[in-house]
Chains A and B, each alone.
Chain A
Amino acid sequence: MKEYERTGVISIEEIRVPSEEQLKRGVAITECIQEIPCNPCVDACPVNAISMEDINSPPFVDYDRCTGCAQCAAVCPGLAIFVVKLEDESALITLPYEFLPLPEKGEEVEALDREGRGVGKAIVRRVVKKKDNTALVTVSVDRKLAMDVRNIRVLR
């Protein structure tokens, strides 16, 4: 039995971490590692960067082709796709968010890891409200936390 099957938290070893170059351009990271019958991300990608052998295979992102547009993150029914982009000092994380209140641009929020623990502060850079009510929130966090921050807590 894999540890995540007991805890519900996947570890970094189970994710294909993009190279520094790829992360600097900004790419989608699919934290979807089980074989489940699901494929909306494949259709959502405008540059055909996501592929699947069949509907049950986990998605494979071609990091060289991915533009980090986050279309896949908006449709993923499992809310399991995050876009990570490295800047000079910080990392930008785009994550799906389905709670109220929605954060606002410029707001300081708490950055949370995969276990919901506060790991530092995050500044909201962008909030895209989608028609189906899954918002895409982009926050900037400490560069070292690029592969750790996967949620936020609004402090209001």
Chain B
Amino acid sequence: MRIDIHPILQFDREREISFLYNGNKIKAFEGETIASALHAAGIKVLSHSIKLNRPRGFFCGIGKCSSCLMRVNGVPNVRTCITPVEDGMVVESDVQQLPSAEFPGSNKEDISVDILVVGAGPAGISAAIEAGKRGVSVLLVDENPMLGGQLIKQTHKFFGSRKERAGTRGIKIAEELEEQVRELEKNGKVKILPGTSVFGYYGGGSSHMLGAANKMSNVMYHINAKKVIFACGAQENMLSFPGNDLPGVYGAGGVQTLMNVYGIKPGKRVLMIGAGNVGLIVSYQLLQAGVEVDRVVEAMPRIGGYSVHAAKLRRNGVPIYTSHSVKEVYGKDRVEGAIVAKLDENWNFVEGSEEDVKCDTVCLAVGLTPSARLLFQAGVKRDYIPEAGGYVAIHNMEMETSVKGIYVAGDSSGIEEASTAMLEGKIAGLSASISLTGRDSSTTAKMEEYIKTLEEMRRGPFGSKAREAKRKILEEASNEGI
């Protein structure tokens, strides 16, 4: 299952290690997560549902879906997809036993900081860099072991303007961002806590109290921050059809993590659901990883992603079926195939149009939902904006929410893409810094420049959804006096 040669990526597998999984010794390489190492060993069933005991497999790969929870070195409910595997680790799945009520007495650490940034993806790192450069103290926290959010799996070159790094692969942009923020860390401007989850908001006022924990090293952080920027990203949407919970049904982003970050193939033959940019790009990347893509099906009558991405797939022989969707996925304990069928103009399956697609992997690329629960816990004014992908925090042009001192950026503030997330991050970082150090002509000019570039990126026909989402959000913000 491990990819040896790849046209774009190189996988460092320098140190081989082993760990115990339900008593069996499993080989892994340093740098892999527990769930990815299990996948490489052919273990696709990671847990079972509590009530009906149905098998659960790898789905999101970024700590959002909870199908991979296991007991690791005695610690209950560890998200194995974002926990690096270590030599000699003891991993147990389906532990049918409540964890001990005794709290193991964690090490507590208090941190006071000017700006807390939650999430180290393109928006969060950009915010931390922007603020860190301006002399305020910054704490950057992310629950993943690596910085860069979803950029670390984006092997394609980015679109956009040359000055915003267009033509550069996402993985390279992640490296550049990490380099810049590590430089600020060296100079004591930014403190970085990877592998650490911010789990709750405990009140505000002149400053904000939040709790965070690094589960595996048993450290709890009490954070007191004057300003907080939430850049928590998004999670992949599920689609309802019989068999959608079978191991082998993945989020397209989960597959991207598995193959582009850890160099592990999801399977041999894939059915892709959704022809937006994510579905098209991941299909192409599957081909690059040496995986067959049977077809892409798209429920809408037209392809949602860029035609240039669709063209890359088509000239490599992958068909795209618009007005088609998946009716069911079948198999015993794992995906063995899927029934796809044509949709009529009322979104009903056309009888007799069913086709049996033999595949061991089904990828869902059917949109994202903003991860914004911490914001809602903090009590920000929110609304359901379909064009933004769901409930989002109402925010103004400078990314501040209805709770003073709380900002939002990136997919958390409405689903878009990495180039705009980086700009929103810069705006939030600048805006939070200004609120601490004051506004002058140079910060005003900078703010105007960022906002202008952002508007330019959203101008074309493909930006219409984001434009509409932001128009509604800004209109509500203005009505609320934010």
Contact = CB atoms under 8 A, between A and B. Distances in A.
Interface of A: 1, 4-10, 31-40, 42-44, 54-56, 75-80, 98-100, 102, 112-117, 132-134, 150-151
Nearest to B305: A8
A5 B162 contact: no
A43 B162 contact: yes
A7 B318 CA distance: 11
B477 to A, nearest CB: 25
Contact of A37 (B169, B307, B308, B457): B457
Interface stretch (B1-9, B382-390, B431-439): B1-9
Given A8-B303, A32-B308, A98-B7, A40 B314 contact: no
B314 A116 contact: yes
A8 B310 CA distance: 5
Contacts of A134: 157
Contacts of A6: 301-303, 322
B315 A40 contact: no
Nearest to A33: B307
B462 A35 contact: yes
A37 B462 contact: yes
Contacts of B301: 1, 6
A90 B276 CA distance: 37
Q: On chain B, which size bracket covers the interface?
A: 35 or more
B308 A80 contact: yes
B392 to A, nearest CB: 22
Interface string B284-319: 000110000000000001110011111111111110
A31 B308 contact: yes
A33 to B, nearest CB: 7
B158 interface: yes
Interface of chain A, helix or strand or loop or mixed? loop
Given A34-B306, A37-B457, A79-B312, 14 more contacts: A4-B310, A6-B303, A10-B307, A33-B307, A36-B308, A37-B456, A37-B460, A39-B166, A55-B457, A80-B308, A98-B8, A112-B315, A113-B315, A114-B311
15 contacts: A4-B307, A5-B307, A6-B301, A6-B303, A8-B310, A33-B307, A35-B460, A35-B461, A36-B462, A37-B456, A39-B161, A75-B157, A98-B8, A98-B288, A132-B169
Nearest to A95: B315
B278 interface: no
Interface string B114-157: 00000000000000000000000000000000000000000011
Given A78-B159, A100-B7, A114-B314, A36 B460 contact: yes
A151 B316 contact: yes
B368 interface: no
Nearest to B310: A8
Interface of B: 5-8, 156-162, 166-169, 172, 275, 287-288, 301-303, 306-318, 320, 322, 456-463
Contacts of B316: 112, 116, 151
Nearest to B320: A8
B303 A5 contact: yes
A99 B7 contact: yes
A9 B313 CA distance: 10
Contacts of B313: 8
A77 B167 contact: yes
A15 to B, nearest CB: 12
B320 A7 contact: yes
B325 to A, nearest CB: 15
B480 to A, nearest CB: 30
Nearest to B457: A37
A55 B456 contact: yes
Most buried by A among B5, B172, B459: B459
Contacts of A38: 159-161, 166
Contacts of A113: 315
Given A56-B459, A99-B288, A115 B159 contact: no
B366 to A, nearest CB: 18
Contacts of B457: 37, 55
Contacts of B309: 78
Nearest to A135: B7
